[in-house]
Every structure is written in C-alpha cells, then in structure tokens.
C-alpha cells in the first residue's frame, strides 16, 4: 500500500520560512496569516487597530451597497489629511509675511510639495462631501432610530466640526481666494443679532482678516479642531459598538 510521503520543502517554502517565521518577525506578529476562523477572530479581537470592529458581523453589512463605506472613508480622509497636513507643517509658517511665500515654496522648491498640497486640498473637499453623503446614508437607512439617537447627535457635531476644519484651513494659503472667502464667511457669522459682531471679533482676533486671524485659524486648524474631532470620533465609533453595531431590521 502506497503511503503518502512528506515532500521536500521547495526553495519558495524556505524563503517564506526565513522571512516570516524568524525570531524578529514573530516578536511583532505572534501568529502567521490568520487562515482559520478561530485565528481570524483572534486577530480582530487582539489587534490594536482592528479591535474597533466586532469579530463577526451580519451578512448584509458587508454588502458594499449597504453603507458604501462612507463613514469609514470619511475617517480615512481624516487620517490622510493628518499625514499630508503634518508634511505641509514642516514648511509652512503662519505669519502674514511668510505664509504666501511658503505655499509658493512648497509648490516649487519642495520635493513632492505640490503633490502634498494638492492631496491635502482635494482630500479636504472629499471629506466634506463624504461626511455629508454618510449622513444621508444613515438617514435613508433609518439608522438614527433607537437605540442610536445619541450617536446621530454626535454625528451632527462631527459634521459641523468637519466644516469648521475645512473653513479654518481655507485661510492658510493667504492668497486672494483665501482672504476674501474668509472675509465673506466671517461676515456671515458677524450678521447674527446681538452676538454676531463679538463672535466675528473672537474668530478673527480683530475687526478684519489679518495676522491675528491667521494665527487663530492656524492653531484651530492644526490642533484645536482635530483634537476635538478625534474625541468626538472616538465616542462615535465606540457608540456604534455599544449600540449593537450597524442598524439592521428588527
């Protein structure tokens, strides 16, 4: 009777073994590729980045047409904007004398500077559009209904924060487009009865768009609002899990 003999390892097997089964690799990734259901659940539950997810999810929720990944993509834009934003911060100084020159420098003298600036701008627009579409998705699938009422409220706050993040970034290039857009935008805020002029003054640090407005917008744009948004996002994601995952028919 023929007994199946173990085959000799091929060269590919040896290279794979050397690459992924060595001591250093194992110290980072404790298991190999998760190819059993048990390991796949373990990797989701124990990985710091993946444990935002549950280990199992209802079949209908992985269908792309259910969510179109809109919420996730909005978060992905936020991450991308953080990365490109940090790179731009290396070269940009928020002073009236330097801001415009720095942007020109980024575009002409910095390796991949123009690309980074373009990415930052288009991602910012994409984030505004995606967050709006995400709100429409949640509304038209009735996903704001109990027990998810409060997470809808957190979402509305995040929508406003996204607009504010984009608005504060708009001034930073310090060109005519930025200057007049912020002048018009803050005039809208200034039109409020009683509190309007004071709000505008607080926003701009003066009566018109100038050096004080630039530093305020910069500080809000790079630290104040992202920090606030990150806190609300943490609550938003946490509540998705606490409220029983994505909404589905009862």
Partner 1 sequence: MATVVVARPAARPTPRARDEEVLVWPDLVFVEFISAMLFTVLLFLLSYLMNAPLLDEANANVTNDPAKAPWYLLNLQELLLHMNAALAGIVVPTVWLIVLIVFPYFDRSTEGQGRWFADVNSVKNTVVSLNVGLWGTLALIIWNSGKAALWAKDWFGFSGGSTLAFLERSAALKDPSVVPWPGWADSIPYLWFNLKILDEGPGAGVTTFQKIDLPTLLVDIGIPTGFMVGFSCLLIFFFWKINWVHTRRDALITLMSGFVGVFLMLTVIGTAFRGPGQDLIWPWDLRTLEGIPGQE
Stretch that binds partner 1, among 2-10, 12-20, 39-47, 229-237 (CB under 8 A): 39-47
Would you say 228 and 161 are in contact if contact means Cβ atoms under 8 Å apart? yes
d(CA 198, CA 183): 15
Alpha helices (runs of H) in 5-51, residue ranges in sequence order:
11-20, 23-28, 37-46
Output the CA–CA distances (angstroms, integers) from residue 242 to 147, 170, 237, 246, in the order listed. 10, 36, 9, 10
Give the x/- contact pattern for partner 1 in 166-205, rule: CB under 8 A: xx--x--xxxxxxxxx-xxx-xxx-xxxxxxxx--x----
The CB-of-222 to partner 1 minimum distance in angstroms stands at 18
Of residues 17 and 149, the one with the C-beta less far from partner 1: 149
Residue 64 touches partner 1, criterion: CB under 8 A:
yes
Asked if residue 136 binds partner 1 (CB under 8 A), the reply is yes
Rounded CA-CA distance 229/216 in Å is: 17
Nearest to partner 1 of 159, 224 (CB atom):
159
Sole binder of partner 1 in the list 13, 17, 208, 212 (CB under 8 A) = 208
Give the binding range for partner 1 (CB under 8 A) out of 8-16, 18-26, 155-163, 226-234: 155-163
Q: How many CB atoms lie within 10 A of CB 234?
A: 12
Which spans in 90-148 are helix H?
99-108, 113-140
Query: Which CB sits closer to partner 1, 20 or 180?
Result: 180
Supply the minimum distance, in Å, between the C-beta of residue 237 and partner 1: 13
């Amino acid at each position: 009777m023929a007994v199946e003999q173990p085959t000799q390892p091929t060269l590919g097997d040896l290279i794979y073994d050397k690459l992924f089964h060595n001591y250093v690799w194992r110290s980072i990734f404790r298991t190999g590729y998760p190819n059993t259901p048990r390991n796949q659940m373990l990797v989701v539950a124990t990985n710091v980045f993946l444990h935002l997810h549950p280990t199992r999810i209802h079949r209908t929720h992985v269908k792309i047409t259910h969510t179109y990944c809109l919420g996730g993509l909005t978060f992905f834009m936020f991450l991308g904007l953080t990365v490109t934003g940090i790179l731009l911060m290396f070269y940009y100084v928020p002073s009236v004398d330097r801001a415009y020159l720095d942007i020109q420098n980024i575009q002409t003298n910095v390796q991949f500077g123009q690309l980074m600036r373009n990415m930052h701008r288009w991602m910012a627009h994409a984030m505004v559009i995606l967050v709006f579409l995400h709100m429409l998705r949640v509304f038209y699938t009735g996903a704001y209904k109990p027990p998810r009422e409060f997470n809808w409220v957190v979402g509305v706050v995040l929508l406003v924060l996204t607009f504010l993040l984009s608005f504060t970034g708009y001034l930073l290039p310090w060109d005519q487009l930025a200057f007049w857009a912020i002048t018009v935008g803050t005039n809208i805020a200034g039109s409020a009865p009683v509190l309007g002029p004071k709000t505008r003054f607080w926003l701009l640090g003066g009566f018109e768009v100038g050096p004080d407005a630039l530093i305020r917008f910069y500080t809000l744009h790079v630290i104040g609002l992202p920090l606030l948004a990150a806190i609300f996002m943490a609550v938003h994601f946490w509540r998705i899990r606490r409220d029983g995952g994505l909404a589905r028919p009862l």
